[in-house]
Amino acid sequence: MKKLFTLVELLVVIAIIALLGGSVLFAVKNSRAQAKKTSCLSNLKQIGLLITQYANDYEGRLPIALRIGENFDDPYSIPNLVSPDNKKPFMCPSDIRTAYEGKNYFNMYGTSYEWDSWYNGRKIEEIRIELTGQKYLTPLMLDAENFHGTLGKNYLYSDGRVTRKMEDPIQ
């Protein structure tokens, strides 16, 4: 005589499969968030290299920085000055929230990042940076929003380094 599965045994097996499936989905979701966060950090690093290249070409001056809400189609905005043909570094892959008019920050403002247009109390275009390897303490650019939730915000400094922090170093 063949032994058949009982209903209880079948339900236990289904419950175990559901638990394993749920934990796999959770791990996949977390790894996607990590990948987006890392890609965003890499984009800021690319922007830092572009700004450094710009500063090398223009006697250490930083490009003009418009304030968020201004027209980033302006040919003198940072994205257009440092990377006129490639806007991809200026979009954080986690920038999926809608800002205004149903658009995300990149589609609304032309960038997912913000910068202090009055860097250390002066207009950014009046500042010259020394490309000597000195460590700067004030962030030059950062994520415009907390796109990464509890994973923190990304910051770019004038010396080219990028960091991820849980707290806001500007405050």
Q: Taking the model in full, what pTM does it have?
A: 0.70
CA dist 18 and 31 (Å) reads 20
- Which of 34, 43, 52 lies closest to 113, judged by CA? 43
Q: Is 141 helix (H, G, I), strand (E, B) or coil?
A: strand
- Which of 131, 171, 138, 165 lies closest to 41, judged by CA? 165
pLDDT digits (tens, 9 = 90+) for 70-105: 555 666 677 777 777 888 888 888 887 665 666 777
Indicate if the pLDDT at residue 170 is higher than 60: no
Q: How many CA atoms lie within 13 A of 149 on its CB side?
A: 8
How many Cβ atoms from other residues are within 10 Å of residue 120's Cβ? Answer: 11
